[in-house]
Amino acid sequence: MNDAFNNGLDHLRCARPAIGIKADGDELRMRKSKRINMISLMTQKLNEEVSSMCNLSEGVMRKGVAKGMTKGILSSIQSLMKNMDLSEEQAMAMLDIPEEERQNYRDLLKKQ
């Protein structure tokens, strides 16, 4: 993004008339149009970069939430096993953990 931004600034600088040189109306309009086009291009690139960063941060946030949920469920399973003297299966049944997710929690419990 920096290259596109810097190139845009260079074009803006080049679009200014040199000191002491008079430009006619058509040339001034053309230079102004070039500036507007470059600013539009830079704005578009900036919007793309911001959108990309937002998507990335949203993905990171979702991953963090999922990790936190998993830790909370593991903690609940362990608490039920300890305080209610339940097996892993009984604790997961009490928490209504879907059957297709239970193996994942079994594996995580073994790692702890």
Going residue by residue through the chain, which has 112 residues, state the pLDDT in tens, using 9 for 90 and above. Answer: 455 545 555 544 544 555 555 667 778 888 888 888 888 888 888 888 888 888 888 889 999 999 999 999 999 999 999 999 999 999 999 999 999 999 999 999 999 8
Q: Which helix (H) or strand (E) holds 32?
A: helix 25-83
Reported pTM = 0.57
Alpha carbons 31 and 103: distance in angstroms, whole number: 66
The whole-angstrom separation of Cα 41 and Cα 46 is 9
Eight-class DSSP state of 24? -
Neighbours of 102 (CB within 10 A): 15
Report pLDDT for 69: 96
> Letter for the amino acid at 16?
R
Phi, psi of 83, deg, nearest 5: -80, -25
